[in-house]
Amino acid sequence: MSFLSVDEQMAVIKRGTVEIVPEDELKVKLKKSRKTNTPLRIKLGVDPTRPDLHLGHSVILRKLRQFQDLGHEAILIIGGFTAMIGDPTGQNKTRPPLTDSEVQENAETYIEQAKKILDPSKTTIVNNNDWLGPVTFMDVIRLSSKLTVARMIERDDFSKRYQNNEPISLHEFLYPLAQGQDSVHLKSDVELGGTDQKFNLLVGRDLQRAEGIDPQVCLMMPLLVGTDGSMKMSKSYDNYIGIDEPANDMYGKSLSIPDELIYPYFELVTDISVDELPAIKQKAKKDPRNTKHDLAFAITKMYHGEEAAVAARKHFEETVIKKNIPDDAPVFSFDPGTDYRLIDIIADAGLTSSNGETKRMMKQGGISINEEKINDPNHSITFTAGDELELKVGKRKYARLISS
């Protein structure tokens, strides 16, 4: 195939990138790739610790897709072996390893969602258990000899735990070696990762060099800040936008980000062209409200299509701006004279994921009936004939409660 010039490729590759180590080597690899008409091997390893993906995961997956679009070979490694070790990156305690069945189940869901971003026809999916599983104990000893304890303690997370007298298990030292061995096995030209993965990626360079393989270039992407504007996006922090979420929720959550995140989100999680980004940056400063709607539309369109994005915008305007209950809100009927706790009604309707979430939303003023906020978790409703109540849960979920 015909590759773009090195400068044109670098403009795409550097979009949103925090660091490329070393950048000059990447240019050399791209030049050689054009000369020999041979695509580079781009590696991304993922441990399927959770079955669901959010926009934070999409940042690195979109970078892999950009390499695909430039004509290079995308290799997605499912960490079937490494997930059973438990990645210590960013952890202040030993991370519990997953079982083989958990890895398999999560991996299947992960791959299906990743296909919404990657080109399946141009993606090679492998499992590192295939080559790390058969490794013998003697192989592990030989591999361990290639890295010193002093080098391991250079890692910020290990260093902090050591200084605080917090336990570090020996198997955690083996994780970077296992990840680096993936690079040796695949002979990757470039490895992608978040900024928190820099140490592991550099270990891969070292191991390749020790085996006489041209060392990979390490490309680090930022960790996406969540909708709260402060913490990295994570389901644990409840500041995430899932790529499998309904269109209305995706649109609404995208509008909840702080204004200062509008441009970074456009740059990192959308497919807006590089040429359009400068104009978007200026518009975000002058008109953040409408630019944020443009962002919400772009994100929703990417994962649900244009028709769903248009409907989601209309839904937001009707329910949030005009404060109308949507026509498709579910209707629940109750016999006159019956008495129900509101928390049970919400649970039965599936409007929250748990009673704990319902109680938290009540405390924060996020649940109302006929626009009256309900803060009491023991609030009950005694239905009478002819009742038509409008229940609102959070910013985007509604239900009609009737009795006849």
Q: What percent of the chain has pLDDT over 90?
A: 61
Bridge partners of 334, per DSSP, are 403
Euclidean distance between CA atoms 361 and 24, whole angstroms:
51
* DSSP letter (8 states) at residue 303: H
Euclidean distance between CA atoms 226 and 237, whole angstroms:
8
Do residues 378 and 360 touch, judged by C-beta distance below 8 A? no
Average pLDDT over residues 291-303: 96
Q: What percent of the chain has pLDDT over 70?
A: 95
Euclidean distance between CA atoms 21 and 19, whole angstroms:
6
* DSSP letter (8 states) at residue 235: G
What contacts 235, CB < 8 A, 6 or more positions away? 50, 52, 54, 242
Q: What is the pLDDT of residue 162?
A: 76
- pLDDT tens string 158-170: 788 878 888 888 8
- The yes-or-no verdict on residue 323 having pLDDT over 70 is no
Cα distances (angstroms) measured from residue 89 to each of 94, 193, 234, 314, 381 = 10, 12, 15, 42, 49
Burial class (CB in 10 A: 0-12, 13-18, 19+), 353: exposed
- pLDDT tens string 351-365: 988 898 999 999 988
- pLDDT tens string 102-147: 888 888 888 999 999 999 999 999 999 999 999 999 999 999 898 8
Residues of the chain with CATH 1.10.240.10: 247-321
Euclidean distance between CA atoms 376 and 365, whole angstroms:
10
Which tokens belong to 26? 């990447």
Of residues 150 and 58, the one with the higher pLDDT is: 58
What global pTM score does this model have? 0.78
Cα distances (angstroms) measured from residue 319 to each of 258, 383, 392 = 21, 25, 10
Query: What is the rounded (10 degree) CA torsion for 258, 260, 266, 268?
Result: -100
Average pLDDT, the chain: 90
CATH superfamily, domain at 247-321: Tyrosyl-Transfer RNA Synthetase (1.10.240.10)
- The yes-or-no verdict on residue 370 having pLDDT over 80 is yes
Which tokens belong to 65? 């897709």
- The yes-or-no verdict on residue 93 having pLDDT over 70 is no
Q: What is the pLDDT of residue 321?
A: 66
- The yes-or-no verdict on residue 174 having pLDDT over 90 is no
Residues of the chain with CATH 3.40.50.620: 6-237
Average pLDDT over residues 386-392: 85
Q: Under CATH, which number does the domain 6-237 receive? A: 3.40.50.620
Residues of the chain with CATH 3.10.290.10: 331-403
Q: Under CATH, which number does the domain 331-403 receive? A: 3.10.290.10
